[in-house]
Amino acid sequence: MNHDPRHPGATADVISTHHVFGAPCWVSLTSRDQQATEDFYGAVLGWEWKPAKLGERFRVALADGTPVAGIAAVASMWQMAVAWTPYFAVPSADEAAARVQERGGTLAVGPLSFPPGRAALLSDRDGAAFGVWEGDLVASWDMWHRAQPAFVRLHTRDAFDAAIFYGEVLDWATGRPECCEVRYEGDEVVLRSRGDVVARIESGALGSAPDPAIRPHWQVHFAVADVAACAKAAEVHGGSVLSHDTTEAVLRDPDGAQFTVTSRRVY
């Protein structure tokens, strides 16, 4: 969800979801403690912050001046899970929400108006949460994509089945101009937009697992220059390292939200 949408009149460099659709276009974190969240991600990912137009509990994260993520400190107030959620660009939030429900998914919130657009929070038929956004994207989608989010990865029960679900909801591989391309590479489904890898889908998650990290979910990956430094900073600032190698680390913030840092060299 775009926590800081541009004014409808400021369209000089704004790209609409009518031109870039089906691809991840934003990531948002639902947290409990706003200040602790800002301190943690500032230390781990080097983010700075600016207010968002949705209210005092919302912030926009900046990487070298580019908006890269939204933070909503509403988990306790709205009784929502602490988690990172990817939002996908769609021409119509209402149509996307209807398609999700028609295919066995769930509509959790919305679609709601956040001028100059509309958003909805959904889950697929295996329970993985995601959002859709209709309207103006963050100025320069290419700049947002390259500033820090590397891609999102769906850990799910059946990658092939999930690719069909999302493909039908988000118009993947339809042949329309600007639509996303889908390729099957080994055991993964790989999604590309404008030639860049923006999402991966892999099988193996268990729907009834007691650990939410093992159940179907979308994992947000951020590209960083130094994976080891990010992992160390996470531990120093109250988070934890769930796994770590030379090119990638799975981290958990102090509130419990899980995310991955990936080496820019690999990405």
Placement of tokens 């939002």 in the chain: 87
b/e code 67-85 from CB counts within 10 Å (16+ = b): bbbbbbbbbeeeebebbbb
Straight-line distance from the first to the last Cα atom of the chain, in angstroms, rounded to the nearest whole number: 24
Token digits of residue 75: 């988990």
Bridge-based pairing of strands 149-156 and 66-72 is unpaired
Contact 132, 178 (CB under 8 A): no
Token digits of residue 97: 């929400």
Residue numbers in the chain where pLDDT is lower than 50: 2, 4-12
Q: How far is CA 219 from CA 52, 55, 61, 84, 148, in A?
A: 24, 26, 18, 7, 14
Beta bridge partners of 184: 189
Q: What local confidence, expressed as pLDDT, does residue 6 receive?
A: 38
Residues 6+ positions from 267 with CB-CB distance below 8 Å: 150, 151, 197, 221, 223
Q: Which helix (H) or strand (E) holds 35?
A: helix 34-45
Token digits of residue 240: 């934890």
Each residue of 50-84: pLDDT tens digit?
Answer: 887 766 678 889 988 888 898 887 765 556 678 99
**Total-model pTM:** 0.88
Q: What local confidence, expressed as pLDDT, does residue 265 receive?
A: 67
Q: What local confidence, expressed as pLDDT, does residue 196 receive?
A: 84
- Residue 37, helix vs strand vs coil: helix
Q: What local confidence, expressed as pLDDT, does residue 14 receive?
A: 55
Each residue of 166-204: pLDDT tens digit?
Answer: 999 999 988 887 788 999 988 899 999 888 889 999 998
